[in-house]
Amino acid sequence: MSKKRVLSGIQPTHDSFHLGNYLGALKQWVDLQQSHDAFYCVVDLHALTVETDPKLLAKRTLLSAAQLIAIGVDPKLCTLFIQSHVPAHNQLAWVLECLTGFGEAGRMTQFKDKSQKGGTDRTNVGLFTYPILQAADILLYQANNVPVGEDQRQHIELTRDLGQRFNSKYKEVFTIPEAHIIKSMAKINDLQEPTAKMSKSANSMAGVIELLDTPDVTMKKFKSSVTDAGREVKFDASEKAGISNLLTIHSAFSGKSIGDLETEFAGKGYGDFKVAVADVVIAALDPIRKKTEELMGDQAELLKILNSGADKANEVASKTLADTYAALGLIANG
Ligand code: TRP
């Protein structure tokens, strides 16, 4: 039996991924490429919805691809590519836009949140059509499953609706995908604000562990993490949010159970425990940072990998686009 197909994408909006991304979505990407025919893309076109300095966008796109490879996304096992290398994404997006109701697009909660925050003057039409481009990303590859976080559920619903609408109006062109909602391996909170999820939108980066932080920086962030006035290394999410978060992080990297860690650190001070957590995290992240640097040091090689990914992606995408155009009555050229 042929493998099921998955597709997912990540925006190149930051220099470095953080621990939350890594233990959530990205580790799943690495696992899924073994059991599935996986397509993963760095969605640089989506990133245009937020104005970014062009040099920075270019750097972040390459850094994102390099980090994906560094954490174990293997271009030999999966198809890794940059979204803008496959023109069919924009082409299918237009077709789907013509099938989407204005009200339907306006009901997307992420659009509502972002446009409310920015106000109408700072809200571009790209933000409005963002989920439709995402639907095109997915439908082009006939993906069966889309591994994403809970916040993307509504976008996958829209993708399914649009796929079904096209199939019933015109022709069965699209596979209707299912959301594969990723339950993060561990819920990772901010080190400075241990009751809030670790996120790039935090007020300060002091509590956010980035994959590309140097060991010194990582150690410093753990040492200055916020804990409580007690002295027991014990899991208690409501009374000891900071220590509980550190236990969760240690456990995610060391594979030891929380219970075993409580025993191991019984009678030891918070200071020692923080250093121990930093040590296991650094041991895991240091090779990732080094591998990323190595890939960024040979951009010709990195681009070669991405170009061959784009070739594979283009092959699948252009076939779907041709079927879509034919079903719509667009005359083929030639
Ligand atoms: N909107 C997704 C996010 O912010 C990124 C994304 C774009 C995506 N296209 C996709 C995710 C296709 C899955 C499939 O996380």
Going from the Cα of 39 to the center of ligand 1, the distance in angstroms, rounded, reads 12
pLDDT at position 183 over 80: no
> SS3 of 6, please?
strand
Distances (CA, A) of 163 to 152, 159, 287: 17, 6, 41
- 56-95 pLDDT, tens digit each: 999 999 999 999 999 999 999 999 999 999 999 999 999 9
Nearest CA to ligand 1 atom 11: 9
Instruction: For residue 1, name the pLDDT band (cuts at 50, 70, 90).
Output: low
For residue 10, the ligand 1 atom closest to its alpha carbon is 5
Sign of CA dihedral 39, 41, 45, 47: positive
Give φ, ψ of 116 to 5 degrees: -65, -45
Cα Rg of the chain, angstroms: 22
pLDDT at position 185 over 70: no
Pocket of ligand 1 (CB under 6 A): 7-9, 11, 43, 46, 134, 137-138, 146, 148, 152
Going from the Cα of 318 to the center of ligand 1, the distance in angstroms, rounded, reads 20
Active site residue 59: no
> SS3 of 295, please?
helix
Mean pLDDT of 125-135: 97
Distance separating alpha carbons of residues 19 and 28, to the nearest angstrom: 13
Q: Percent of the chain beyond pLDDT 90?
A: 91
Nearest CA to ligand 1 atom 15: 10
Active site residue 240: no
DSSP state at residue 18: B
Distance separating alpha carbons of residues 44 and 28, to the nearest angstrom: 21
Residue 203: CB atoms within 10 A of its CB come to 10
| Predicted local distance difference test score (pLDDT) of residue 118 | 83
| Predicted local distance difference test score (pLDDT) of residue 187 | 84
Cβ neighbors of 213 (< 8 A, separation 6 or more) are 16, 221, 285, 289
Active site residue 197: yes
Going from the Cα of 10 to the center of ligand 1, the distance in angstroms, rounded, reads 6
83's tokens: 């979204």
DSSP state at residue 287: H
- 237-273 pLDDT, tens digit each: 999 999 999 999 999 999 999 999 999 999 999 999 9
pLDDT at position 279 over 90: yes
For residue 43, the ligand 1 atom closest to its alpha carbon is 7
